[in-house]
Amino acid sequence: MDRKIILASHGKFASGILSSLELICGENEAISALDCYITENFDLKQTVDQLMAENAEKELIVITDLFGGSVNNEFLRYIKQPNFYLIAGLNLPFLIEFSTQFANTDRIVELIIQTLNSSKETIQFCNESFNEEIEEEEF
């Protein structure tokens, strides 16, 4: 079964982070972006329903920007659909790790969980981390 990743966000965050991903990892036709609310007449429900219909025969991973936000909530309507996975909290470390491995696994749920756990470690308060290194070197 083919797999597809859709990055979905408020504003142009989805296409922006896709641009960063492509700069680092190269283009991947299995990944696309959905920028929401950037036009006055944007209809989120209609857009999501159309995307879901277009990708009905694929294993679909949707990564949204904000848990509980309107974009995430609209995709939540499909949460019980087979071969559909919804992740909130789109960030570049997660996306790099996940996108470089998702095509080569038959254990997608395990990959999602593993990648979420490892990407959480990349969020750092650098001042604090840097100070700890200096203190260790001084003694």
Cβ–Cβ < 8 Å for 101, 115: yes
pLDDT at 69: 97
C-alpha to C-alpha distances, 132 to 12, 43, 86, 135, nearest whole angstrom: 36, 49, 36, 5
pLDDT at 129: 79
pLDDT at 124: 87
Measured CA to CA, the distance from residue 85 to residue 60 in angstroms comes to: 6
Of the candidates 105, 119, 27, the one whose C-alpha atom is nearest the C-alpha of residue 59 is 105
Name residue 33's beta-bridge partners: 7
pLDDT at 139: 53
The answer to whether residue 136 scores a pLDDT higher than 90 is no
Q: What is the pLDDT of residues 104-124, one digit of tens each?
A: 999 999 999 999 999 999 998
Domains of the chain and CATH, by start: 3-138 (3.40.50.510)
> Residue 81 has which token pair?
């659909």
The answer to whether residue 132 scores a pLDDT higher than 70 is no
Strands 3-10 and 59-64, sheet pairing? parallel
Cβ–Cβ < 8 Å for 41, 47: no
Per-residue confidence at 134, pLDDT binned at 50, 70, 90? low
CA torsion 33-21-81-65 (nearest 10°) is -70
Measured CA to CA, the distance from residue 22 to residue 68 in angstroms comes to: 27
Cβ–Cβ < 8 Å for 41, 13: no
Q: What is the pLDDT of residues 26-77, one digit of tens each?
A: 999 999 999 999 999 999 999 999 999 999 999 999 999 999 999 999 999 9
Between residues 130 and 98, the one the model is more confident about: 98
Cβ–Cβ < 8 Å for 6, 61: yes
